[in-house]
Amino acid sequence: MEVEEFVKQTNDKLKGIEKGLSGKVDEKTVNEIKDDVQSVKQNIEELNKVGDKTLTDYIKGLQEHSDQLENRLKEVEETGSRKNKSHGELIKESLKAELEKGRGSFLNKLSTEEGIEVKADTVAFGNSFTENYYEAVPQAARIPGIQQAPYPTPSIYNLMSVGTTSRRYIPYVERTNYTSGANMVDDVTAGGQADVSFEDKQATVKKISVKLHVSRDSIEDVDYLQSEIQRLLNHDIVQKREKQLITGDGSGNNLHGLIYPTDPIAQQFSKPAGFDKQNGVGNATALHAALTQVMLGKDNDFETGYMANGIVVHPTAIANMIEDRDANNNFRRHPLLSPDGRSFNGVQIVPSKYIDDDTFLVGDFRQAKPFVRRNISLKILDQNGTYGEQDVLTFVVTFKMAFFVPSPHNYAFTFSTFEAAKSVLTDSQ
């Protein structure tokens, strides 16, 4: 019974040592554990001297446990001694150890049945790798992801207040006419008659779709290929939508774009009444006049104007305004243009690659009405002709939306080429 109790106490002590090794080990802890291990080993040796055969199993188990902890302790000490060594020093030590350990097998491999021999004086087992040389050896690495050009930003769509719909048509009502009847009258005379008319209208939901065929093997063999396919197709939908919002002709399945040449929603630029002509008019002055035109709107007694929230131009137009110079080649900057070319008179300038480089579009884009019927959705099909037999998948991405601007709000937008706008703003004298 006393022996069993002794063994139990010793095992508990060994478990405590093992727990100490599993945590954060500093020099002090290592020394304490070494003392404990040594004490346990001495106790085991004393039990072994008794020679009682009934103790054999106990002693054997304790000895194995103690040996395991002693080996673990050596590993901890070795790790601690390595902490202050450089990466190159550790590599040198590892190489030297491996070369020494494998010297015999290395020579045996060089002498084969085909008679390959290596002279002893041509083989040097000393470490020939210097620290700097080894650290310069290229490592196995690659740039993560797929390298590709960045996608254009869907700038115009982001300027709009997007709604949702559960129908294929978006009904709305426009006030198409209003005639004032207000007159100055005496106490017994009736005022004039006002006339107003309305019109029911509706916008049709249109669909944008794209598909791509991909073998299942390629998706399984190439990491992240499926996510890249989805990203690519989503981008295809987004950019098609951006182009349609600008130049869609409205026919068939097309959206009606803001500046489609033959039937634009936006108003053609014209010099606002009272806006003085200038000499040496630049692109910035044309934008200033366009903002003023939007602010005036239809310019009658019953329809006021709008506060523009976006100026859409080609990236080169921004660069040209920053680089604008006078006849003496001196820089001249419109005082309302921000130094970085990102805003004009506090209105955001939005670069777009889908508008001509000589064209501008200024407006209150909150008056445009995009309604999403189905957001961008992805389907993966394996039934498409013989593609199922060929184990080819079909990726189909769709997006459904309606887009319109109620006709009274057409005056919230104006567009033109810079040259045409500058021509009507320039004083000919």
Instruction: Determine the CATH number of domain 155-163+204-425.
Output: 3.30.2400.10
pLDDT in tens, 202-235: 999 999 988 888 887 777 665 567 677 777 777 8
SS3 content of the chain, % helix, strand, coil (to 5): 40, 20, 40
- Return the higher-pLDDT residue of 51 and 386: 386
Q: Residue 161 and residue 170: Cα distance in Å, rounded?
A: 15
**Helical residues (DSSP H) of 83-150, grouped into ranges:** 87-101, 103-110, 131-135
Q: Residue 27 and residue 31: Cα distance in Å, rounded?
A: 6
Inform me whether the pLDDT recorded for 306 exceeds 80: yes
Provide the mean pLDDT of the chain. Answer: 76
* Arithmetic mean of pLDDT, 303-317: 93
Residue percentage of the chain with pLDDT more than 90 = 33
- Return the higher-pLDDT residue of 95 and 167: 167
pLDDT in tens, 83-95: 555 545 554 555 4
- Return the higher-pLDDT residue of 102 and 37: 37
Whole-structure pTM value: 0.62
Count, residues in the chain? 429
Contact 425, 275 (CB under 8 A): yes
Inform me whether the pLDDT recorded for 313 exceeds 50: yes
Contact 248, 256 (CB under 8 A): yes
Inform me whether the pLDDT recorded for 287 exceeds 60: yes
Tokens standing for residue 82: 């390595």
* Arithmetic mean of pLDDT, 24-53: 59
Q: What is the pLDDT of residue 149?
A: 66
What φ, ψ does residue 10 adopt, rounded to 5°?
A: -65, -45
Q: What is the pLDDT of residue 279?
A: 87
Q: Residue 116 and residue 112: Cα distance in Å, rounded?
A: 6
- Return the higher-pLDDT residue of 132 and 382: 382
- Show contacts of 243-246: CB within 8 Å, 24+ apart: 243/354, 244/208, 244/403, 245/156, 245/157, 245/368, 245/370, 245/403, 246/156, 246/312, 246/352, 246/354, 246/355, 246/361
Inform me whether the pLDDT recorded for 429 exceeds 70: no
Inform me whether the pLDDT recorded for 411 exceeds 90: yes
Q: Residue 334 and residue 92: Cα distance in Å, rounded?
A: 66
pLDDT in tens, 173-188: 988 888 888 899 999 9
pLDDT in tens, 103-151: 454 444 444 444 444 444 444 444 444 445 445 555 556 665 556 666 6
| Cβ contacts of 199 within 8 Å, gap of 6 or more | 173, 174, 176
- CA atoms within 13 A of residue 340's CA, in its CB half-sphere: 7
Q: What is the pLDDT of residue 312?
A: 96
Cα dihedral 240→368→256→272 (10° resolution): -120
- The domain limits of the chain are 2-78, 155-163+204-425
